[in-house]
Amino acid sequence: KAGVTQTPRYLIKTRGQQVTLSCSPISGHRSVSWYQQTPGQGLQFLFEYFSETQRNKGNFPGRFSGRQFSNSRSEMNVSTLELGDSALYLCASSLWESGGEQYFGPGTRLTVT
Amino acid sequence: GIQVEQSPPDLILQEGANSTLRCNFSDSVNNLQWFHQNPWGQLINLFYIPSGTKQNGRLSATTVATERYSLLYISSSQTTDSGVYFCAGRDDKIIFGKGTRLHILP
């Protein structure tokens, strides 16, 4: 069974631009969560989706948004990029809503210049 | 929300040594997991261990949910064990500890 995939793997953007990251969960998994990892703040929860509905949201500004499609694939969008948005963005999938073992993708490394 | 504390923050050991990493939670959590982050950033699942003890080769883990802690044991360390180890648990969302950075010297 294929693991969680994320695209693109690397991305360089300029301040003020917007970016869309994609995550395909493990087949059969319906829950997708997103995390931001930075050296200063560690791993922080962004949001969680289940059956196309956002179930939970972390403490991030409204510039960060996401969605989930009917095939459970998810995208997250960051608008008006800031230098501080440079980070590793990780996506995880699990079978159940609000529970179960999480499996992570390889991440998208975003650099904002 | 819950707080997750991992200790020690850094650990340097000689190859062949044993180590114990600890994860404390400020309140009850569900779905406790241990991960190893490889040099490329990917989080590798080690254990899904809401309670009890599990073993996988040289690694084992124990979670005592009633006392709100979990331990990860690494025996006979190898240089490939180097990296950052994270524990994570869930209340209404997944919370990660800040990790233990492990250096295994040859």
Interface of B with A in 87-106 (CB under 8 A): 88, 90, 92-99
With b for 16 or more beta-carbon neighbours within 10 A and e for fewer, the A71-97 pattern comes to: ebebbbebeebeeebebbbbbbbbeee
Which of B28, B42, B54 is the best substitution to test chain A (most A C-beta atoms within 10 A)?
B42
Please report which confidence band the pLDDT of residue B27 belongs to, taking 50, 70 and 90 as the band edges: confident
Which of B35, B40, B90, B92 is the best substitution to test chain A (most A C-beta atoms within 10 A)?
B90
Averaged over B88-97, what is the pLDDT? 88
The amino acid at A97: E
Averaged over B48-53, what is the pLDDT? 95
Q: Are A52 and A45 in contact (CB under 8 A)?
A: no
Q: Would the pLDDT of B38 be above 90?
A: no
- Would the CB atoms of B96 and A101 count as touching at under 8 Å? no
- Would the CB atoms of A102 and B31 count as touching at under 8 Å? yes
SS3 of residue A3 by DSSP: coil
SS3 of residue B92 by DSSP: coil
B42: contact with A, CB 8 A cutoff = yes
SS3 of residue B2 by DSSP: coil
- Would the CB atoms of A104 and B99 count as touching at under 8 Å? no
B43: contact with A, CB 8 A cutoff = yes
The secondary structure of chain A, three-state, reads CCCCEEECCEEEECCCCCEEEEEECCCCCCEEEEEEEECCCEEEEEEEEECCEEEEECCCCCCEEEEECCCCCEEEEECCCCHHHCEEEEEEEECECCECCCEECCCEEEEEC
B77: contact with A, CB 8 A cutoff = no
What is the pLDDT at residue B2?
84
pLDDT tens, chain A, 113 aa long: 689 999 999 999 999 999 999 999 999 999 999 999 998 889 999 999 999 999 999 999 999 999 999 999 999 999 999 999 999 999 999 988 767 899 999 999 999 99
Report cis status (omega within 30 of 0) of the bond before A8. yes
Q: In whole angstroms, what is the distance from residue A20 CA to residue A65 CA?
A: 9
B56: contact with A, CB 8 A cutoff = no
